[in-house]
Amino acid sequence: MRNKRISAILQSFQVGYARHSIMRNSKGTPRDFILKECNSAYRKITGITEELESGWGRTVFGNGAEERVKKYLTMLDDSKGEPVVEFFPLTNVWAWTKVRYEIADTFSSIIIDVSTFKSRLQHYQLQQEGYKIFVENLQALSFQRLITEKENIHLFTTGSYEELTGYPSEKFQTGQDWLSIVHPEDRKRIRKIMDELYSKEGYCGEIEYRIIRKNGEIVWIHSHDLNRPSPDGKYSIVHGLLFDISAKKRQELELLESHELIEKQNEKLEHLVRTDPLSGLLNRTGMRESIEREIALNRRYGIAFTVFLIDIDLFKAINDTIGHEGGDYVIETLASTFPRVLRSSDVCSRWGGDEFLILLPRTEKKEGVLVAEKLKQKIEEHPFEFQGQKLHITITCGVCEYRKDYSLKELVSMADKALYKGKLSGRDTVTLFVDESID
């Protein structure tokens, strides 16, 4: 029964791949081939189907089967294993084909659709370059090893170890030799996988890891590996296909860095949009969002909250006396005193000019008045001094608890009315808004 995991890895190859066995007549003379397994790309190129897997040559090439069988046998006997470009009549496809003898009348073939090449000259060039072009284009290296109880025999390698690693192929006679160039951080993990690959029949997997080239350069590898048992169960054949994916990894890193940069820029923009640059507190936009959230909680769960509006007493006189730089100093210093009195859950904003709006979640009006009084006293006691000149700063506060029928605009308006009332009564006060429409 075909190994599903092997089939899955074959499907991922970007070229047609198949394994065949040789059919012989009663005298032992080869007469055709049996298709044992292949990937979807192979079926697409050759036109073979699930129902036509025996008598492969006669099915695909019809009356020309005998000639093709001889050609394939010649290719298998050729020690150089030169590829050919051949025509598949079922699909009208020209394909570059390379076959390689495995063992016990079994051989594998790799085919690439070259129909898009517009001249036979290009076909001829591909035939001459053959597998070398394929591997160079994919930056891939493939190998096979035969595994018995006593031996681990290298069958073949395609591609260049030296191009991939900087070392000659003679350096890599065993798995331990390959482990010696695996990045130290990946070596333990790869050793465990290699032990499983060479000892467990039916193993199939893929993994990404790093190697260190002779010149010290780090190369990312994507490895497809499988261990396929022989038909008689006496040995296994390990297949490996290694791709250099360093360029892909660099792109992923650049993309990740770009995303992180965009996120940081977005966070910075979000901060600028919602923050007052002078005081470092929320601006009107940021405070509106916070109050709207509290309004939604109140309307759904009945959770109380209170706001109070702050105005710096006689701020115009301060600006006229010590200049706008001095006024900026007062605003910045005043804002810095808020955290010393308020809770971390309380929200502070510069509402505009010399006005500040404070949001007290889960707070009723009586407690809100106490908080405003405490903050007013803290500011009055704070030693304001600008360019050697001591300043006595006081504030007036208007407090209002939210009611369900208030809009955000109405809530702030009520706090402003209380603030105005406090100004009329002599400043340096805390005034609670009283809704006279409520009996």
Pairwise CA distance, residues 433 & 399, whole Å: 6
The residue behind tokens 């092997």 is 6
Q: Which residues pair with residue 205 across a beta bridge?
A: 225
Dihedral angle sign, alpha carbons of residues 129, 131, 137, 139: negative
- Report yes or no on whether pTM surpasses 0.85: no
- For residue 117, the model assigns a pLDDT of 55
pLDDT in tens, the chain (439 residues): 445 554 554 444 458 888 888 887 788 777 778 888 888 888 888 888 765 556 676 677 666 666 777 777 777 766 555 777 788 888 888 888 888 877 777 888 888 887 765 344 454 444 445 544 554 455 568 777 778 777 777 776 766 788 888 888 888 877 788 899 999 999 999 999 888 888 888 888 889 999 999 999 999 998 888 888 876 677 788 888 888 888 888 888 888 888 888 888 888 878 788 899 999 999 999 999 999 999 999 999 999 999 999 999 999 999 999 999 999 999 999 999 999 999 999 999 999 999 999 999 999 999 999 999 999 999 999 999 999 999 999 999 999 999 988 999 999 999 999 999 999 999 999 999 987 765 4
Q: What is the dihedral of CA 23, 26, 28, 32, to 10 degrees?
A: -20
**Strand (E) or helix (H) holding 237:** strand 236-244
Please name which of 389, 429, 436 lies closest in space to residue 414, comparing C-alpha atoms: 436
* DSSP letter (8 states) at residue 292: H
The CATH architecture that domain 4-249 belongs to is 2-Layer Sandwich (3.30)
- Tokens linked to 132: 């070398």
CA 33 to chain centre: 46
- Tokens linked to 337: 């005193």
Pairwise CA distance, residues 210 & 265, whole Å: 32
Please name which of 418, 257, 260, 284 lies closest in space to residue 349, comparing C-alpha atoms: 284
Which residues are CB-neighbours of 362 under 8 A, at least 6 positions away?
Answer: 303, 304, 305, 345
Residue ranges per structural domain of the chain? 4-249, 275-432
Q: Which CATH number fits domain 275-432: 2.40.50.140, 3.30.70.270, 2.60.40.1120, 3.30.465.10?
A: 3.30.70.270
Pairwise CA distance, residues 242 & 249, whole Å: 15
- Tokens linked to 336: 């810095």
| Rg (the chain; Cα; Å) | 40
- Tokens linked to 239: 């297949």
Neighbours of 261 (CB within 10 A): 10
The residue behind tokens 């008045």 is 369
3 state SS of 273: helix
Pairwise CA distance, residues 170 & 157, whole Å: 11
* DSSP letter (8 states) at residue 379: H
CA 327 to chain centre: 49
- Are 414 and 435 in contact by the 8 Å Cβ rule? The answer is yes
- Amino acid letter, 190: I
Phi, psi for 109 (deg, rounded to 5): -135, 145
- Tokens linked to 124: 């001829």
Question: In angstroms, how far is the first alpha carbon of the chain from the final one?
Answer: 89
306-328 in b/e form (b: 16+ CB < 10 A) is bbbbbbbbbbeebbeebeeebbe
